[in-house]
């Protein structure tokens, strides 16, 4: 039995169709996809930048809160007061092993209500778990976008508890 010439032509056309679909995307299709990605990125970029700056302020307040809880534990375990020095752009204290721990705030984040911005404020945690300056609050702030500043307040109770809360929009 012989194959008819028509079957060879149709098979050749199917193979050619298959090869065309395996070649990938065309340049216009690629440009459309890139334009859509660029459009989405241009809409989300500013919002992401604002979120990132707000995140830096929030995590700086959380770092103060977390480290002060750790300082309290160190003071109780060492049975001695542990002072923490707060400056506008960082804070530091000495660990139980005698090493200085320094936390630098990200760019644009500062403590704005220090009594002495040049020399800083010192808050000590005592071996009984108390704090040297009960009722003291630290205000951590940073610009999120033009005209918008996020402010977090870190407060200390007489029993040495530390809390932080957002106090601005």
Number of Cβ within a 10 Å radius of residue 53: 21
Instruction: Look at residue 22 and tell me if it is in a domain.
Output: no
Residue 35 belongs to a domain with what CATH number?
3.55.40.10
Instruction: Look at residue 17 and tell me if it is in a domain.
Output: no
Instruction: Look at residue 57 and tell me if it is in a domain.
Output: yes
Print the domain residue range for 41: 27-166
- pLDDT one-digit tens code per residue, 18-74: 555 566 888 999 999 999 999 988 888 788 888 889 999 999 999 999 999 999 999
Domain count, the chain: 1
Collect all residues with Cβ–Cβ distance below 8 Å to 101 and sequence separation of at least 6: 67, 92, 93, 94, 95
Instruction: Look at residue 4 and tell me if it is in a domain.
Output: no
pLDDT band for 168, please (50, 70, 90 cuts): confident
Instruction: Look at residue 9 and tell me if it is in a domain.
Output: no
- pLDDT one-digit tens code per residue, 74-93: 999 989 999 999 999 999 99
- pLDDT one-digit tens code per residue, 128-167: 989 998 989 999 999 988 888 999 999 999 888 999 999 9
Q: Where would I find the beta strands (DSSP E) of 48-147?
A: 82-87, 90-94, 100-104, 109-111, 121-125, 137-145
Structure tokens at 103: 């936390």
Collect all residues with Cβ–Cβ distance below 8 Å to 41 and sequence separation of at least 6: none
pTM score of the predicted model: 0.73
pLDDT at 48: 85
Give 133's DSSP letter: S
Instruction: Look at residue 71 and tell me if it is in a domain.
Output: yes
Separation of alpha carbons 149 and 86, rounded Å: 21
């Amino acid at each position: 039995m012989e194959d008819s010439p028509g079957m060879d032509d149709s098979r050749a056309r199917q193979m050619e169709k298959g090869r065309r679909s395996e070649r990938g995307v065309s340049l216009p299709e690629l440009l459309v996809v890139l334009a859509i990605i660029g459009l989405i990125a241009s809409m989300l970029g500013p919002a992401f930048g604002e979120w990132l700056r707000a995140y830096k302020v929030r995590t700086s307040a959380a770092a103060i809160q977390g480290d002060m809880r750790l300082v309290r534990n160190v003071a109780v375990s060492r049975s001695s007061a542990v002072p923490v020095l707060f400056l506008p752009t960082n804070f530091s204290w000495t660990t139980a092993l005698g090493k200085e721990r320094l936390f630098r705030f990200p760019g644009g984040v500062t403590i704005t209500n220090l009594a002495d911005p040049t020399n800083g404020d010192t808050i000590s945690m005592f071996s009984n778990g108390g704090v040297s300056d009960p009722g003291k609050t630290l205000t951590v702030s940073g610009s999120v976008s033009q005209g918008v500043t996020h402010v977090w307040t870190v407060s200390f109770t007489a029993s040495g508890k530390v809390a932080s809360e957002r106090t601005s929009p």
